[in-house]
Every structure is written in C-alpha cells, then in structure tokens.
Amino acid sequence: MSQMTMSTQPGFFDLADSTIAGGQPLTDDSISKISHNAKFGAVRCEIIYMGFYANGNTVSAPLSPVDGYQYSYPECTFVIAGHCTRAPAPGFVPGQATFPAIANTNAGNVDGTVLLQYFDVDDANGAVSIFTAYEASQEQYNTNDGFVKVLAICQRLSQTLPTGVGGD
C-alpha cells in the first residue's frame, strides 16, 4: 500500500449551500474550495504509528507523514498495547519501530508470577508510565519493567478529544 502525500497542508473552507445549489453556476473558486475540503477530510483524522516505549520515556507529538502537519498534544489520543512485562534490553531506542530485544531478567532478578501490569501514556504530555508487580515466595515485588507499543489517533484543529480513550 502506498503512502498518500500532499505538498501543502490543506485547510477547510466554509461554503454556503447557496454557492453550490442547483441552477447556480459552479465557479472555479468553489471547485477549488471543494477540492481543498476533500483533501482536508482525508487527513482530518489520522492514525499514526509511534513505536515502542518503556517507563519514563516520552512520546512526542506526532508529525503527519502525509503533509508534515505538526500535531499538538490536545489534538492526540494515544492508544497503548502492552507488549512485554520485562524491560527492553540495552540498546533500546524509545520510539523504535521494531520489536525490542528483551532483558534477560526482571528488575531485581525476581523470578515470580506477574500479578498485574499498569501502563499509560499521558495525553497531555506523552509521558509513559509502566508498573509491573510480581509475586515470588508470597512477597510482592514492584517494578517499572515492561514496554508498550503506541499509536496516536490525531484529529486536526481539535482541542476537545474525549478523555478516557487510550488509557486515561
């Protein structure tokens, strides 16, 4: 599948219904605005793959691969998929596209059962938080092990995306 690209960032033009009503001449200006609106509609909402992240990393506000539009955090909701309860191995780069190598041991070399894992990407600033608890010998061990895969759902010019989507 090829990637759509645009040479300029489209915007929205409000056209009165009477401008394009039946029996009225369709002007070059109206045709141009209709075309611009269609392009804007194609990128108004984008889903952008952001990569893999661990606790303490920050997901940056995404850049549209279509036309280079720089999204702000209020225009984004992050969708998180937990991928591993162990930390990534040394050499991990936050945001890398490929699945990271996995560390050989859990934090503190705890061999136990995973009790729970909590992960979040803060929609306000992209901060990644991961909490993983293990049980071994009837003791609970709390760590920040693990890593997640992140997608950004972005809607241009929107400052009112709903909260509670994607882990809030």
DSSP string, 62-122: PB-TTT--B--GGGEEEEEEEEESSPBPTT--TT-SSPPPB-SS-GGG---EEEEEEEEE-
Whole-number pLDDT of residue 10? 56
Calpha distance 67→96 (Å, rounded): 22
In the chain, domain spans: 45-155
Calpha distance 41→99 (Å, rounded): 32
Calpha distance 100→57 (Å, rounded): 14
Structure tokens at 75: 């225009």
Q: DSSP class of residue 58?
A: B
Does the predicted TM-score (pTM) go above 0.75? no
Whole-number pLDDT of residue 101? 94
SS3 40: helix
Calpha distance 84→121 (Å, rounded): 16
Q: Are 156 and 71 in contact (CB under 8 A)?
A: yes
Per-residue pLDDT of the chain (168 residues; tens, 9 = 90+): 445 555 555 555 666 777 777 777 777 777 677 676 666 665 568 899 999 999 999 999 999 888 788 999 998 999 999 888 888 999 999 999 999 999 888 776 777 888 899 999 999 999 999 999 988 888 888 999 999 999 999 987 754 444 544 444
